[in-house]
Amino acid sequence: MKRHKYRLGIPLLGKGATNHLHRMEVVKAFASRGIPVIFLVREDYLPLLERIPGCTYRAVHFKEITGFRQFLCSISRNIRMRYPFQDRGLRERYRRKHLDNSILTRIINRLYGFFACFRWMVSFLVVLEQHIYRKSQTVFGCDAKEIDQLLLLGIGTLHSELEGQMTWWGIKEGISVVHIVGNYDNLSSNGYRGVPVNRLLVWGRNMRKDAMRIHGIPPERITEIGSIRYNLNSSLLISKKKFLECMGLSTKRKTLLFAGFLFASQYFEMMTCFQEILNEGLDCQLILRVYPNKQLMNSIYMEPLLHYANKFSRVTVSLADPYFRYGERGRPVLQIEEYELWNSLAVCDCVINIFSTISVEACIFDKPVINMWYFPRPTGNLARQPVYLDYSANFHNRRLASYGAIRIATNRQQLKKMIYEALKNPGKLSEQRHRVVKDEVGQLDGQACDRLAEICIQEYHRSVKVTR
């Protein structure tokens, strides 16, 4: 195979990148083509990462822009993250976030939202940020002479601001830059891009549409390669019998998988619902998958939850935080536990979650999936009931619901009824689930890393020709 002699830099600046790009399969795809990988890692992440053999690691740090330029950047980002504010999900999200703020703060939020309705405004703000970063050196620890191309997760939207700074640095240094999408909601619900995009790698057709419709990226600059993580999960799968026995569960019972979110109350709600189902005579068992949020894991609810779950012989707990039981409990989760996740999805008969990527993953495994969208009422006298962000109103969740593949339970009785129906007729909605995979995930042929490497090579050679 022809060797392409250039050096690839992969910045690891957030947990998305450490989960999607810091992978042996990615490194192998480039190594087989003669391309060495240099990981550019946030300083606080560097001592926590398990290193991949044969790769170089460099610590990078970022300098805050100060003064008036910092003020302008803050305004720009606050407007960009709200785009397109015409979307009712975005409007509702920010309205609820600012319910308890002062009148002035709410007025400012309304102003940000007004400007975030216009493409010309957010496009202008990207140009403004370009001038700010062009005059400011904010990335340190990278030697541009060592790197010929950057592969970045994210395009400078909400939660990928550091990737935006790294992009501006790469452009200023004349380095080829390729962007790749992490999760299925990254382009649809996190605002307007903060950087120019020469090559964007997406999962499938809907991500392509989001990139064009929301971010104004020309179609010729977008390439569908499938999802890196989802193209690799089969390598972790073992037999159903072996996995269930390892988890202390029976191979003869129906298995429910509950993949919770940030709300501790819903884990207890699921346990109560499960107890009622058992009392009604349904012969089943439960895998309780706990979300890897440190605030949740270190809360006063976690030990009682684990103690309660361990009382049931038909319940096993799967922790997405690999350090909670073995290691430092306070250690940030840079890479979630995947072995139990993929095998749980493979062996279960029904998936219950709270508007997360687990819904898409359940569709990949063609499993009936239910969203639990209700909250137990708090006890005691409160000035008012808690106000939750309405995740069901988010654009990506509305689109996912439009397939008709995912059922939504708004109370315990509905949830129990939907579980009974899913176990009785698991093939129902299978066609809709396959449409979710086709439109949202794209190709699942195990070749996503090869496509990633080939497109990066092509983009590098194209950029070299342009600079000549």
Give the total residue count for the chain: 468
Spatial distance between the Cα atoms of 254 and 277, rounded to a whole number of angstroms: 12
How far apart, in whole angstroms, are the C-alpha atoms of residue 452 and residue 443?
Answer: 13
Rounded to a whole number of angstroms, the CA Rg of the chain reads 23
- Please give the Cα distance from 388 to 395 (Å, whole number): 17
* Mean pLDDT score across all residues of the chain: 92
Strand, helix or coil at 284?
A: strand
Query: What is the helix (H) or strand (E) element at residue 418, kind and residue range?
Result: helix 412-424
DSSP reduced 3-state for 289: strand
Q: Which of 364, 305, 365, 296 is nearest to 333 (CA)?
A: 296
* The model's pTM: 0.93
pLDDT beyond 60 at 1: no
Classified as helix, coil or strand, 269 is: helix
In the beta sheet, which residues pair with residue 286? Answer: 256, 315
Give the Cβ contact number of residue 242 at 10 Å: 12
Burial 259-273 (b: 16+ CB within 10 A, else e): bbbebbebbbbbbeb
Give the HSE-up count for residue 27: Cα atoms under 13 Å, Cβ half-sphere. 15
Task: Give the pLDDT confidence score for residue 2 in this predicted structure.
Answer: 45
Work out the number of other CB atoms within 10 angstroms of the CB of residue 54.
11
What pLDDT digit, counting tens, does each position of 392-413 carry? 888 999 999 999 999 999 999 9
DSSP calls for 336-375? ---HHHHHHHHH-SEEEESSSTHHHHHHHTT--EEEE---
- 432-465, pLDDT tens digit by residue? 999 999 999 999 999 999 999 999 999 999 887 6
Q: Which helix (H) or strand (E) holds 26?
A: helix 24-31
Per-residue pLDDT at 466: 65
| φ, ψ dihedrals at 441, nearest 5° | -95, -35
In contact, 289 and 255? CB cutoff 8 Å: no
pLDDT surpassing 50 at residue 156: yes
Q: What is the pLDDT of residues 62-106, one digit of tens each?
A: 998 889 999 999 999 999 999 999 999 889 888 888 887 889 988
Burial of 108 (C-beta count, 10 Å sphere; 0-12/13-18/19+): middle
Among 187-191, 284-288, 332-336, top mean pLDDT goes to 284-288
Residues 206, 399: contact at Cβ < 8 Å? yes
Q: Is the separation of the CB atoms in 110 and 78 below 8 Å?
A: no
What is the percent of the chain where pLDDT is above 70?
97
pLDDT of residue 233: 62
Residues 6 or more apart in contact with residue 131 via CB below 8 angstroms: none
Q: Please tell me the distance from the alpha carbon of residue 58 to that of residue 433, in angstroms, as a whole number.
A: 42
DSSP alpha helix (H) spans, 32-148: 67-80, 88-97, 103-115, 119-134
- Return all residues near 386 (Cβ < 8 A) that are at least 6 apart: 375, 378
In what order do the strands lie in the sheet containing 284-290?
315-319, 284-290, 254-259, 350-353, 369-372, 406-409
State the pLDDT at residue 467.
59
pLDDT in tens, 326-373: 767 778 888 999 999 999 999 999 999 998 899 999 999 999 999 999
Nearest to 437 by CA among 71, 83, 184, 115: 184
| β-pairing verdict for 139-140 and 56-62 | antiparallel
Measure the CA–CA gap between 250 and 261, rounded to whole angstroms: 26
The per-residue DSSP string of 196-233 comes to --S-EEESSHHHHHHHHHTT---GGGEEE---TTTTTG
Mean pLDDT, range 10-27, rounded to an integer: 95
Determine the straight-line distance between the first and last CA of the chain, rounded to whole angstroms: 26
